[in-house]
Amino acid sequence: MRIYKAKDYDEMSRKAANIISAQVILKPDCVLGLATGSTPIGTYKKLIEWYEKGDLDFSEVTSVNLDEYKGLDKENDQSYYYFMHTNFFNYVNISPDSINLPNGMEPDSDKECARYDEVIRSVGGVDLQLLGLGHNGHIGFNEPAEEFKKGTHCVDLQASTIEANARFFASMDEVPKQAYTMGIRTIMSAKKILVVVSGADKAGIVKKAFTGPVTPHVPASLLQMHSDVTVVGDAAALSELDI
Ligand code: F6R
């Protein structure tokens, strides 16, 4: 595991974007596994900037996103489809046909999970998987549990997540209660993994996940077993590590 300490969020974003750029330049038809959340927004901004300068070309890239809320359509501004388009895809030349996310509007979970696993298999797996880190050690929507869930699966969101999301919706009924997420085996099968972390509130979980015991109670701890993981964090997020 390589760990890069950046002085702040901006430097973290530039470093992470550098690593993604290197992947796209070395393998223009690569498969990028992408994440939503607040942490990678700056990384996407840098990639857009460099694309606009003519330094990057996404025309042959395929993307597969980690997760999506079940029950939200593409137009819903809380959907991850919407997030990815408004924060990244709409501003670069990735082909719309090469963009993949779980379909939140498919009510049959077994069918959608099997479809998404087949999508990932058919594109040849992920070359570089970008991940954020949840405060409880979750990656994608793989929450702390008694065991690692392997393939794409449907997750019942924790009550705290549902409550936290309620502010974005007109009524409690509209708040998603479930989500589709790539499983741990899929994430671990990526050839390279890039984790971005920012802020002092992540310092404790960074230490636990990357130096503590490997356990499904801290899903990100399994990344210690992957042979090519790069963590890019700002000084605040890495402050509890001895580096
Ligand atoms: C996003 C995702 C989540 C986030 C994590 C961190 O697609 O699957 O696991 O990466 O919750 O979120 P932020 O970056 O908002 O702290």
Task: Assess whether pLDDT exceeds 90 at residue 168.
Answer: no
Instruction: State the pLDDT confidence band at 212, using cuts at 50, 70 and 90.
Output: very high
- CA of 138 from ligand 1 middle (Å) equals 8
Instruction: State the pLDDT confidence band at 164, using cuts at 50, 70 and 90.
Output: confident
Query: With contact defined as beta carbons under 8 Å apart, do 242 and 174 qualify?
Result: no
Q: Is the CB of 138 under 6 A from ligand 1?
A: yes
Nearest in space to 65 (alpha carbons), one of 87, 45, 47: 87
Q: How far apart are CA 162 and CA 15, in angstroms?
A: 33
Cα angle 124-155-220, degrees, rounded to a multiple of 5: 65
The closest-lying atom of ligand 1 relative to the alpha carbon of residue 132 is 10
Least confident of 30-39, 137-146, 159-168: 159-168
Q: Is the CB of 36 under 6 A from ligand 1?
A: yes
pTM of the model: 0.97
What amino acid occupies position 72? L
| Digit-coded pLDDT (tens) for 120-131 | 999 999 999 999
The closest-lying atom of ligand 1 relative to the alpha carbon of residue 37 is 15
Query: With contact defined as beta carbons under 8 Å apart, do 103 and 115 qualify?
Result: yes
Instruction: State the pLDDT confidence band at 234, using cuts at 50, 70 and 90.
Output: very high
For 50, residues 6+ apart whose C-beta sits below 8 A from its C-beta are 17, 21, 56
Task: Assess whether pLDDT exceeds 90 at residue 180.
Answer: yes
Helix-then-strand count for the chain, H and E = 7, 10
Question: Catalytic residue numbers?
Answer: 67, 136, 138, 143
